[in-house]
């Protein structure tokens, strides 16, 4: 089988890496990919949002399965166009991808179907939103309605922080049209956990849960990022909580989407929080997590390509997914200044040494090659994943990999997964 992966980040490298291991797959293509991905797949220079060009390429190359990594092409309708042309694709329709593309759509759906989440209000007028904020007791959460690359959420501890976030979204328009509407939510406290499931509109097959680290600095300090690291499994999510996540949140959401006339097929990703009153939904995403994929996929014992095909064909009830008992930890190495301004083109040393380490996998998120040199090419540059028989061992191996890689201004958190080693999770 010939498989096309759409995207260019660490998530897509993890997908390519895992798909290429399948005996069902003879060739992997990636559009547009990156320099690291190019070692395992043929990269083709097509932008992820150029849907006609992607579909033309898949037709011309007789691609038998396309797997969509990022959310932007899904929200733009790439799956609809592929299916219209009779091309097999893994990923939700444009209507179903609104679960991530519009936080207001997702919240309204949850409220209508009794899916547990935070209380919220929606505003399309800056002054009304500002007046509402002034009447609230911090902390509060301010969210841009549309896609903002994982950076459109501010947990405001003070009124000034909340008003600044609102102004940046609705007045300064830092996220463009994604800020036409804002949602202001109650701030829930507890440990966050990512639960991803494969879904084909009716059935689901769960993946191993994971926990992301969004803030840029140690101790969960500083602005939110696309994710600075992740680990799996999550001790705070025991079997009982995991069952609650599936039965009270993920399955009801699939039923709600079907009832809304947009059956959900692809990866349904629940960003959940463990509160004193039980699990609540913080957000839904319509694709594999990034960096969640980097520790989760190395723990998958089953053939990923077989599961992706089953989802695309609507026969998920015929497959299952096995998981390793091992732990995996991914540490993101980012450019200095990320998630703000940063420079590209810094030379990367030590990749060969890291690749040679036992139970360490380096996923490239934003790299390029210039002659024989590896160079940085974005904010999140690498995801260094360590695998071990325990979380402490996986942490140690991930940081062993990080220690041998160097580039000017490299920034990474030094506490990824450490909270999992504290009995209270604090």
Concatenating the DSSP letter of every residue in 19-70 gives HTT-TT-SEEEEEE--TTGGGTSEE----TT-HHHHHHHHHHTT-SEEEE-S
CATH level 2 (architecture), domain 327-421: Alpha-Beta Complex (3.90)
Name the least confident of 19-23, 84-88, 153-157, 402-406: 153-157
**Domain 189-318 sits in which CATH superfamily?**
ATP-grasp fold, B domain (3.30.470.20)
Name the least confident of 254-268, 346-360, 391-405, 412-426: 412-426
pLDDT value of residue 150: 64
The answer to whether residue 131 scores a pLDDT higher than 50 is: yes
The answer to whether residue 151 scores a pLDDT higher than 90 is: no
Domain with CATH 3.30.1490.20 in the chain: 125-180
Q: ∠ CA(255), CA(253), CA(325), 5° rounding?
A: 115
Total number of residues shown for the chain: 426
**Token digits of residue 226:** 């696309």
**Residue 251 near residue 260, CB atoms below 8 Å:** no
Q: Pairing state of beta strands 327-334 and 229-232?
A: antiparallel
- Write down the CATH number for the domain with range 2-94: 3.40.50.20
Mean pLDDT within 82-108: 95
Domain with CATH 3.90.600.10 in the chain: 327-421
pLDDT value of residue 75: 95
- Write down the CATH number for the domain with range 125-180: 3.30.1490.20
pLDDT value of residue 178: 83
Domain with CATH 3.40.50.20 in the chain: 2-94
* CA gap 264, 101 in Å, rounded: 14
pTM for the model stands at 0.93
Domain with CATH 3.30.470.20 in the chain: 189-318
Kindly report the average pLDDT of the chain as a whole number.
95
pLDDT value of residue 423: 66
Mean pLDDT within 54-60: 98
pLDDT tens-digit profile of 76-88? Answer: 999 999 999 999 9
Q: Which candidate, 108, 92, 110, 119, places its Cα nearest to that of 145?
A: 108
Q: ∠ CA(240), CA(242), CA(244), 5° rounding?
A: 70
């Amino acid at each position: 089988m010939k498989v096309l992966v759409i995207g260019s980040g660490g998530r897509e490298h993890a997908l390519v890496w895992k798909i290429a291991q399948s005996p069902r797959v003879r060739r992997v293509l990636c559009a547009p990919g990156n320099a690291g991905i190019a070692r395992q797949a043929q990269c083709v220079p097509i932008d992820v949002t150029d849907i006609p060009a992607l579909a033309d390429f898949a037709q011309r190359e007789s691609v038998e399965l396309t797997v969509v990594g990022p959310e932007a092409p899904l929200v733009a309708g790439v799956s609809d166009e592929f299916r219209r042309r009779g091309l097999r694709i893994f990923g939700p329709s444009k209507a179903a991808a609104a679960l991530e593309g519009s936080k207001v759509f997702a919240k309204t759906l949850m409220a209508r179907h009794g899916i547990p989440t935070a209380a919220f209000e929606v505003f399309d007028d800056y002054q009304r939103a500002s007046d509402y904020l002034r009447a609230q007791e911090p902390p509060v959460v301010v969210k841009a309605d549309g896609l903002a690359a994982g950076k459109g959420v501010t947990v405001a501890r003070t009124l000034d922080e909340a008003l600044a976030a609102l102004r940046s979204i609705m007045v300064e328009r830092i996220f463009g049209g994604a800020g036409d509407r804002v949602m202001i939510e109650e701030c829930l406290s507890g440990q966050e956990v990512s639960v991803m499931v494969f879904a084909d509109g009716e059935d689901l097959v769960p993946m191993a849960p994971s926990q992301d680290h969004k803030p840029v600095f140690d101790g969960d300090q500083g602005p939110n990022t696309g994710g600075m690291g992740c680990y799996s499994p999550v001790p705070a999510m025991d079997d009982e909580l995991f069952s609650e996540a599936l039965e009270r949140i993920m399955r009801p959401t699939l039923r709600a989407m079907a009832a809304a006339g947009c059956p959900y097929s692809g990866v349904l990703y629940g960003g959940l929080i463990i509160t004193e009153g039980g699990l609540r939904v913080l957000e839904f995403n319509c694709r594999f997590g990034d960096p969640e994929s980097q520790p989760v996929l190395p723990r998958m014992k089953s053939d990923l390509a077989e599961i992706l095909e089953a989802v695309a064909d609507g026969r998920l009830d015929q497959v299952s997914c096995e998981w390793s008992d091992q732990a995996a930890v991914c540490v993101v190495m980012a450019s200095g200044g990320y998630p703000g301004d940063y420079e590209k083109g810094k030379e990367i040393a030590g990749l060969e040494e890291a690749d040679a380490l036992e139970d360490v996998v380096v996923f490239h998120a934003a790299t390029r090659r210039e002659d024989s040199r590896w160079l940085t090419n974005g904010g999140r540059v690498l995801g260094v994943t360590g695998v071990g028989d325990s979380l402490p061992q996986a942490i140690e191996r991930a940081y062993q990999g990080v220690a041998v890689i160097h580039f000017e201004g490299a920034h990474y958190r030094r506490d990824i997964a450490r909270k999992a080693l504290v009995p209270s999770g604090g």
